[in-house]
């Protein structure tokens, strides 16, 4: 590209979902409700796990960390989405876009690794229930969570530095509601083969590899469940995995749909809907997924309500 035709981008314009003012107000209310529910749900679940000694187990330690990730994950997106819906100023600075991209990628990749660690936890619980507490020691659980964060943000650093050193050809309009990879790549004018290689590496290390570990864990879980003789025992064992399996299917399904395709096949209008699902809807749903049929969480919640009522 000729240097004189290159203009350095100082800020980006987020088009959001629609230019219709009435619909923007409706979306503001919808996203505000979703964000409030997400905050209350995840904070409540973290508080229950922290304060109730009956659920100080490896499984709930991982669930608490998942809620912590979801709490911050939704907070990376929701405030800017809400501002875009009600403000005439749709701009986001280059530094702000970079920061949003970095933290959203780091939290998303960390969640991928954490879901894989949770699958291993479920495998140990079902295949070796008598040795579960010994195998899933506090030290191992802490190391798995720390490794999830380290791997997530290390890979986020790589993809952020590679993406924001691309040259954007003067066009700074992002047809999305946040600084995401597909629309940024569409704005770039010098996407090289080396960058595509980095994208495949990120996809393989943060999505494909954890998903393979999850698949392997569930194959071993299935084998362990089939060795259980009673039907009731099998159903009980499977029920301990149902919440995690639901969360994995929703999260990985939406991420793979968007990021496992070549950049030439991106359809931004369709991808916006899917992006909303995994950025703001799933963080709201996870507390309900892990507590809806969970007797321990319900008992802890009743205990907290009773304590607040009589204090």
Q: How confident is the model at residue 266 (pLDDT cuts 50, 70, 90)?
A: low
Whole-number pLDDT of residue 239: 81
Q: How confident is the model at residue 172 (pLDDT cuts 50, 70, 90)?
A: confident
How confident is the model over 289-301, as a mean pLDDT? 78
Q: How confident is the model at residue 1 (pLDDT cuts 50, 70, 90)?
A: very low
Cα gap 302→311, rounded to integer Å: 14
Going by C-alpha positions, the residue among 301, 267, 70 that lies closest to residue 176 is: 267
Whole-number pLDDT of residue 70: 94
pLDDT higher than 70, residue 88: yes
Most confident of 65-74, 186-195, 271-280: 65-74
pTM for the full model? Answer: 0.89
Lowest mean pLDDT among 33-37, 197-201, 212-216, 260-264: 260-264
How confident is the model over 203-208, as a mean pLDDT? 87
Q: How confident is the model at residue 139 (pLDDT cuts 50, 70, 90)?
A: very high
How confident is the model over 284-308, as a mean pLDDT? 80
Pick 295 or 92 by higher pLDDT.
92
Q: Residue 92: helix, strand or coil by DSSP?
A: strand
Sheet (strand 11-14) strand order:
91-93, 11-14, 173-174
How confident is the model over 50-71, as a mean pLDDT? 90
Cα gap 221→244, rounded to integer Å: 13
Mean residue pLDDT of the chain comes to 85
How confident is the model over 7-23, as a mean pLDDT? 80
CB 108, CB 73: distance < 8 Å: yes
pLDDT higher than 80, residue 268: no
How confident is the model over 234-239, as a mean pLDDT? 82
CB 116, CB 214: distance < 8 Å: yes
Lowest mean pLDDT among 27-36, 100-109, 259-268, 294-303: 259-268
pLDDT higher than 80, residue 264: no
């Amino acid at each position: 590209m000729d240097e004189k035709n290159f203009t350095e981008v100082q800020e980006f314009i987020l088009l959001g979902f629609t230019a219709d003012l009435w619909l923007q107000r409706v979306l503001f209310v919808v996203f505000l409700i979703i964000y409030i529910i997400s905050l209350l749900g995840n904070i409540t679940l973290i508080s229950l796990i922290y304060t109730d000694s009956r659920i100080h187990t490896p499984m709930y330690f991982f669930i608490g960390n998942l809620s912590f990730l979801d709490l911050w994950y939704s907070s990376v997106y929701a405030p800017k989405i809400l501002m875009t819906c009600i403000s005439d100023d749709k701009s986001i600075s280059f530094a702000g876009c970079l920061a949003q991209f970095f933290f959203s990628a780091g939290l998303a990749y960390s969640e991928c690794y954490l879901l894989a660690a949770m699958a291993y936890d479920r495998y140990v619980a079902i295949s070796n229930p008598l040795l579960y507490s010994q195998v899933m020691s506090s030290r191992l659980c802490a190391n798995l969570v720390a490794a999830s964060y380290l791997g997530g943000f290390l890979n986020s650093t790589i993809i952020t530095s590679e993406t924001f050193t691309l040259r954007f050809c003067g066009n700074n309009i992002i047809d999305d509601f946040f600084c995401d990879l597909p629309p940024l790549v569409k704005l770039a004018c010098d996407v090289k083969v080396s960058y595509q290689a980095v994208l495949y590496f990120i996809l393989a290390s943060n999505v494909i590899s954890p998903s393979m570990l999850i698949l392997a864990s569930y194959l071993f879980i299935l084998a362990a469940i089939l060795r259980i003789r009673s039907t009731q025992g099998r159903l009980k064992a499977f029920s301990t995995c149902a919440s995690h399996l639901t969360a994995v299917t929703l999260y990985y399904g939406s991420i793979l749909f968007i990021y496992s395709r070549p950049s030439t096949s991106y359809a931004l209008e369709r991808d916006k809907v899917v992006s909303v699902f995994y950025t703001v809807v799933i963080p709201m749903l996870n507390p309900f997924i892990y507590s809806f049929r969970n007797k321990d969480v319900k008992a802890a919640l009743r205990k907290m309500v009773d304590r607040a009522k009589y204090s």
